Amino acid sequence: MSNKPNTIAEKRTALNELLAWFESDDFTVEEAVDNFKKAETLAKEIEDELMSAKNTITELKQRFDESA
């Protein structure tokens, strides 16, 4: 994860990679804490972006319904 992911798809991929890392047997507590924080941040960013997209779609639908 050298480059910061920008799209939801890239963030999901990065999150899945972190989750897979947690399933491995080769990690330290320090790494686990750091990766947990990264995963938590990615999950929050994904959730925020999806909520924003949902709100945009809802607004567009309302405008469409009003003009129909």
Burial of 15 (0-12, 13-18, 19+ CB in 10 A): buried
Q: Which pLDDT tens digit goes with each residue over 23-40? A: 988 889 999 999 999 999
Whole-prediction pTM:
0.80
pLDDT tens series, the chain, 68 aa: 457 889 999 999 999 999 999 998 888 999 999 999 999 999 999 999 999 999 999 999 999 998 87
- Domain range list for the chain: 28-68
d(C-alpha 52, C-alpha 35), whole Å: 26
Instruction: Specify the pLDDT at position 27.
Output: 82
Q: How far apart are CA 11 and CA 5, in angstroms?
A: 5
